[in-house]
Structures are given as C-alpha cells and as structure tokens.
Structure 1
Amino acid sequence: MRNSLRFKVALFFSVLGIALLLAQAFGVKALAETQEEKLIAALIHDDMASVLKNYEADPSLLPPFDARMSGYVSGAHRESITLPESVRDLPFGTHEIIIGGREIHVAIAPLGTARLYRVYNFNIYEKHFKQVINVLMAGTGIFALLTIWLSFGLSGLLVRQVAGLARQVKELRLGESAPIQPGRYDETELVGLVEAFNDYHQRMADMIAREKEFTGNVSHELRTPLTAIKTSCELLEQDAAISGKSRARLQQIERAADNMRELTSALLMLAREDSARDVEPVAMAKMIETTLAPFADQLARKGLDTIIDVDCELRVAANRPALAIVLSNIVDNAVRHTDHGRLHFRYADGWLCIEDTGPGIPAQALPHVFERFYQTGSPHSAMQGVGIGLSIVRKLCDRYGWRIEIGSEPGIGTRVSLRLPTANEA
C-alpha cells in the first residue's frame, strides 16, 4: 500500500517530536533523581557533622546506648525506628535499607570507641518527588498527542501545493490543454517540477497529434490502394481466360489484400484510445461463421471439419471489430498449421475455446507465442506468417479486458481459450 506524502511527513515529524519529548522527559527524570541523591547526601552530611559536634561538646545529649547495635541510635525525625541487627555489620558511611517496605537512610559514624547510627526518613519528600516525575511523564504524553495533531496540520500546509499540482495534472489528463502556471507555486522545487511537467506534456501532446495525423494518413493512403487491389481482383476473377496458376496467383493476391486490410484495421483500432468504450451485444455463433467464411477455400482444400458448439442465442458483450480481428487471427493460425482433422469451437462458463488438431506448440515456445515477430514454425514453410498476428491479439485483449490462454500438446493440437462475458454479465 502506498501512503500519501502528507502522511509520511506527519509520521516523520510525529516520531521525531515524540522521540525528542521522551528523550527530554527521561533525561530530566534521570537528572532529577541524581540531584535528589546528591541533595539527600548533602543534608545527611551536614546533619551528621552538626550532631557529632554537639555530642562531642555535650555528651549528655547522647541517646541511650543500644547494646544490641553496639552503639548509639538516634533519629533525625521524631518517628522511632528499630534497626535490624544486620546494620551493625555495615561499614561507616550512609546506607539505604528497607524497613517495613520503606526506604530508610542510615548514616554510620565512629563516636569514640562506639558507633553512632543516625536514621533519616525521606519518604514524604521522595513521595512528592515521584508525583512530580509522574506529572512530568503525563505531560510528556499529552505533548506527544499534541505533537501528532500539529504534525498532521503542519504536513497539510507543507504538501498543499503538491496536492494542488496533482489536481491540475488530473485536469490535464481529463482533457485540459492549458499548461500549468508555475507562478501559482512558492517553492523553487515545485516550480522546477511544473516546468518539467509542462515540457513533457507539450511533447506528449505533439506526439499524440503526430500519431493522429499518421493514423489518418494510414486510413486513407493504405485503404484506398487496398480497395483498388481488391476490386481489381474481383473483376479479374470474372475473366474466364484466367485459369490454372494465374487464377491461383490472383486468389493469393486477393487473400493478401484482405490480410492487409485486417492488419490495417487492427493497428488503427489499437491507435484509437476511445475504441475500448464501443461495446455491444454480439451473436457469438454468427461471429464465428463470419470469421470462417474467408477461410472456406483453405478448409475445403485441406479437408478440415469445423464444429461450432455455441448456442445460436448466445450473445457476448464485446467490441465487434476487435473481436472479429482476434478471432480472424486465431483461426488463421489454426488453419495455417493444421493439415488434417478439425477446428472445434465451444463456449462454456464464459470461455470461448478454439481447438485444432495441428502439430501443437513446443512447451518451450508457449511463453513466447504472444511476442512480436516470434514464430514457432519452420522459416521455410510455405504458409509462414510474419509473427505479428498473436501480438495484435494480445494487445486487443488487454485493451478490452479479455483474458486469453493458450494450451498445447505436441502431436495432438492447440487450444486457445478466450474469456468473453455474456451480454447479461456485462
């Protein structure tokens, strides 16, 4: 799936903003915890220095001696806390211990030959500190959501001109001929893109104009002499003096003219962009009979039977000229390569199948039969084609959305399957 440019820009800014916010939040948290420990350590140090000085100046201020701890135990707060005996084995300095689920600081210092245990409870302070940290993290989450919202808004401003350019390109594709005005855009990159597109669009328009002129010339300059050749052949056929090889040559010229007319029609149809819309109900059985008519002499000469298993009432939704060209090329290939047997036409489940009893197509050649100028037969064959018929068939099928498949078994025959929806399905 492709994501829009706006989504990508918003995602980038959102991820970047959230990453910076999290980095800042965790950095502040780590710094605050470090400063908290330093502050507690400084408070304990100053308090211990003051207490030791007072005890040394006035021994009467000393708390009762605790034989269990082998020293004096005092508290910096009014709360009385009983220390576990394991504290007695701790070295001098400040230690953190857990008593009743609470974190307690114990400062241990030498006092004469004994030890002084000073207990500090900063739970209330630490509780407030954690609340501040929680507020900080919650604020980070809120700012993260705000960052996402602002990112989408900002990305919309950044890509609005790109979206506008896309809309104008669509208008051009739908028939707008005026070039895009680069003055409507502020960004230098977009102005360059607009100028490049205008140049490309102009070259495409010139090319399309040349193609239309070419197809018009082809339609007139080729069809006119082909019609003259066809008419001349029909008149010469009525001359009884022409017989034998001369009449065979004349028929060959007439078939070549017919093939040229069909090829010209196919190429012109492929050149017309709007031809794909001309779809109508076509009687399938009648279309097959019409397609077979020009091949009647070849079928009779080779003794080929034709079987049409198609309902006379069946109508498919297709472009009639395109379907005629497709069937004509398929039948032409089948007749050219089949020397005995039959041609079988049948329609089932939306597929028109055309089967012959020719020599078949080698397996390695099947993937290439639709390639332009590709030929599977011997180059010395008398019925050799030019390798363009099936290429045109493929292009016409792609144009009208018809699926075409070829299956073949060497020595048995070839089957061409053409997907043609009925008029009701369309």
Structure 2
Amino acid sequence: MLQSRRRLRSRIFVSFALFGLALTSLFAAATIYMRARLEDQLINNTLQREVENFVQFKQAHPEPDAPWKLSTFDAQIYSARKFANVPFAWQRYGTGVYDIRDFDENGKLRPYKLAVYKDDRYWAFLRLDVSTQRLSERQLITALGFAVLIFAGLSMLIGRWLSSRVMSPVSDLARRLRSLRRTGQFEPLAPNFADDEVGELAAALDDYAQRLTELVQRDREFNADVSHELRTPLAVIATTTELLLNAPDLSDKMRDRLKRMERASRQSTELIEALLLLSRAERSGPIDGETTDIARVCADVIDANRPHLGGRPVEVSLRVESPLAVNAPSSVVAVALNNLIGNAIKYTPQGEVVVRVQDGRVLVEDTGPGIKAEDAEKLFQRGVRGEGAVGKGAGLGLAIVRRLCELYGWGVGLRPREGGGAVATLDFQPRR
C-alpha cells in the first residue's frame, strides 16, 4: 500500500508542529480553566463568608443604625500623638504594604496583608485576610503539577505514536530487506513506497541489488567456465600420464618426469577446487562423512615438493607424533599444507625442514632465514612476500591459506623458531 505523497521531512515537521500546537493549546486551556475556577471559588467563598457575617451581625445588633464592617478588611486609624493605642506589633512598620501573620478573633494564626500610612497627624492601618488567596494559590500549584504530569504522559504517548507513524516507511523497508535475506528472492522495493526520501532510498537499493545480482551471476558463470575449461585439460593430462606410466619400456628418468607431471596435475586440480570453494564462499565436506588422513596428505605434499630442493643440502622429514584426521576434503587440506611446506622448502638454503603431525595440528619447522615476529601477520596479506623471497611470485599462497582456514574454522600462524628459522602452524581445532 502506497504511503502519503508528502516527503518524509514534511511529515516530521507537520507532525511535531501539530504536536506542539496541541500540547500548548491543552496546557493553555487547562491553565485558563483552573484560574477561572479558582478565582470563582475565591469570590464565592468570600461573598458567602461576608453574607454569613452580615446575618450574624444583624442577629446580634437588630437596631437599624447599627454599624457593620466587612470581616475581610479591618481598617483602623489613630492619632499620631496617641500611637500607644496602636497594636505593639504594628508600630514598627512604616508606610507601605507588608505580609504578616496574626491571630484572628478565634485565636487562629492566619496570613494577612497590612497596608500602613503614616504622617504627622494620623497613623492608618488596613488589614486584609489573605488566607483564602493562599489556599487558592496552593490549589493552583497542585493543579498545575498534576497538569504537568498528565501532559508529560500525553506527550510520551503522542510522541511514540507520531514517531511510529513517521518512521513506519523506514521500518517497512527494513522488514522487506530482512525478508529478502531470509528468502533469497529479490523483489523490487521502490513500487511499495511513496515518492519521498524512503522511496529514493528504496530505488537506490533496487539499483544496487540489480547491479550486485548481475555481478554475482557473471562471477558464477566465470567460475563455471573456468572450472570446466581447466579441469578438462587437466583430466586429459592425468589420464595420459597414467597410461604412459603403465608402459613397460620406460626409463627411470622418464618415469620420474611422468610422476612429477602426475603430481603437478593433481595439485593443480586440488588448487582449482579450493579456489572455486573460496570464490563461492562455500564449505564442502568429504562424501559420506569420509575423513582425511593428515599424515598421508603431508607425505604426498612432501614428495611433491622434493624436486624443488634442487640439490640443496636440506633434509625434509615427516614425524607423526599423533594420528590426526579431519572432516574436510583432502584437496583443501593439500592446498593449505602445500603452501606451508612448500614455503619452508623454498626458503631453506640448508639444514632441515620438519613436518610434525600432532594432536589437532600440524607444525612445519625450518632452519631458513626466519621471520620477524612483527612481520608474521603481514605475510598472510595479499601481495606481501618475505624478506628472503626469491624468484617470481605474487605473494598469494599464504593469503589463500588464511581464507581457507577462515572458511573451515581452522587457525594458521607463523612465528620465529628458536635458534633460527620459522615455524608455521595449521591448527584444525583452534582454541576460542
């Protein structure tokens, strides 16, 4: 359902303007009402008290010419020469109006206003009982306090309702985006919103989603094409190599070369499978829960990398200190170990490379030039190579290993080795 055509900014402005106007109007109306009510109550009480006082006075003085005075006002005038007749408490006041507390005829302490006038001849005093006014003031303050509490509650309720109304298009957009994430089926967002800021955002998201979908589709098609185009010739190489190895008249030198071709073909196939998994961010396991024997993979990787020694005095050994099997494709494990073991063999000019299979992890120790502790983490970044790197290389091997470990929840690390060299660790059960 389409929302109002007003822009979101306008809806927020209008909503809060109406809210402020309504709240101010309510407060003004309540204040006027309470003032009028209290003022009317004050006048009524004063009149009622005076008429009762008048009746009581006439009952006590039935004669027609008996003087009567208002009970609310008490006026007295004295000669300046006879100020001793003035109540002692009033003598200290000069001309002006004062707030005092005095006792009434019943002995009750009450508040009064005392107006004083003094000259050389007369001292005049006019006392006004303001107890009723003080009571009205207290009632007004109490009423306003309740009004503030009520308006505060109303403002919270109305503000919450207005905010939900104003932000409902944004909430609807977020809900539709979450639904898209759950279902994976994209539906255009812009047709469901008005031509306002939220509608512009929905249109921008539609455009971004369309471009992202096209990019993902092209990436999938590219991966499928590359997988098919690379696997086919590799399969041909592997088949041909296998047939040639079965020939009875092969020389030892030719057989060794064919075995190298076979290992290179297998490594290339494993690498392609691992890279395809990374490109799809897709984790796959062995068929029917089959586990991969790490020691066997390490042995295959060592045999495949021995030709890289090139006659250097380096001893490469495998030490299985604890049996280890993981629930992962052997191709993925082979790619990770091939980079770690291959780097150790490549960068060790002399000495030894020891591959240790332990409980839950594999250690690759070498006696090469070693690494700096502060540079260990940098070597896992794309394009970064060690200080002793020689020959051609893009510095992607360890970056690929790190991404495979992140995909499968493994841990990988490098550290300097005591006495020189480096230690690479592939932990299949990292401690969290």
Q: Does 1:158 align with 2:158?
A: no
**Structure 1 CA distance for aligned equivalents of residues 296 and 174 of structure 2:** 50
Aligned to 2:398: 390
Report the CA distance shift for 1:120/1:214 in structure 2 as closer, same or farther (over 3 A): same
> What's the CA shift string for 1:89-109, capped at 9, x where partnerless?
554212335679975433222
Q: CA deviation at 1:306?
A: 1.8
Partner in structure 1 of residue 414 of structure 2: 406
Gaps of 5+ in 2: 1-11, 43-74, 104-108
Which structure: larger Rg? 2
Stretches of structure 1 lacking an aligned partner (at least 5 in a row): 1-8, 40-60, 74-81
Q: Structure 1 pair 288/103, CA: closer, same or farther in 2 (3 Å)?
A: farther
Cα distance change on mapping 1:128 and 1:406 into 2, 3 Å: farther
- Aligned with residue 287 of structure 1, among 266, 283, 294: 294
Question: 2 CA distance for matches of 1:67 and 1:323?
Answer: 121
In the superposition, the TM-score normalised over structure 2's length comes to 0.67
Q: Which amino acid aligns with 1:186?
A: A
2:381 matched to 1:371?
yes
Instruction: Provide the rounded CA distance (Å) in 1 between the counterparts of 2:265 and 2:419.
Output: 32
Q: Secondary structure at the match of 1:405?
A: strand
Answer whether contact 1:299 1:305 (CA < 8 A) is retained.
no
Within a 5 Å distance, the mapping from 1:8-407 to structure 2 comes to 62=76, 72-73=86-87, 83=89, 88-97=91-100, 104-180=112-188, 182-232=190-240, 240=250, 243=253, 256-273=264-281, 275-276=282-283, 278=285, 283=291, 286-296=293-303, 298=305, 302-310=314-322, 312=323, 315-318=325-328, 321-338=331-348, 339-347=350-358, 353-379=363-389, 381=390, 385-407=393-415
Letter in 2 for 1:214: F
Per the TM alignment, residue 412 of structure 1 is displaced from its structure 2 partner at its CA by 2.6
What's the RMSD between the two structures over aligned residues? 4.5
Q: Deviations over 1:55-98 (max 9, x none)?
A: xxxxxx8467799976745xxxxxxxx73xxx655542123356
* Mapped partners of 1:131, 1:352: distance in 2: 84
Instruction: Calculate the TM-score normalised by the size of structure 1.
Output: 0.68
Q: Distance in 1 between matches of 2:261 and 2:85?
A: 128
- Kindly state the Cα deviation for residue 111 of structure 1 after the two structures are TM-superposed: 4.7
Q: Identity percentage over the alignment?
A: 27
Deviations 1:86-139 (A, max 9, x none): x65554212335679975433222154453344434233222222222222222
Residue 99 of structure 2 aligns with an amino acid whose one-letter code is E
State the distance in 2 between where 1:254 and 1:145 align: 80
Maintained 8 Å contact 2:263/2:304: no
Assess, with a 3 A threshold, how the Cα gap between structure 1 residues 192 and 151 changes in structure 2: closer, same or farther: same
Give how far 1:334 is off.
2.6
Q: Which moved more, 1:404-413 or 1:220-229?
A: 404-413
Q: Deviations over 1:276-300 (max 9, x none)?
A: 364886756x223223313226459
Post-superposition shift, 1:329?
A: 2.2
SS class of match (2:370)? coil
Deviations 1:327-352 (A, max 9, x none): 3322222333344234243545x665
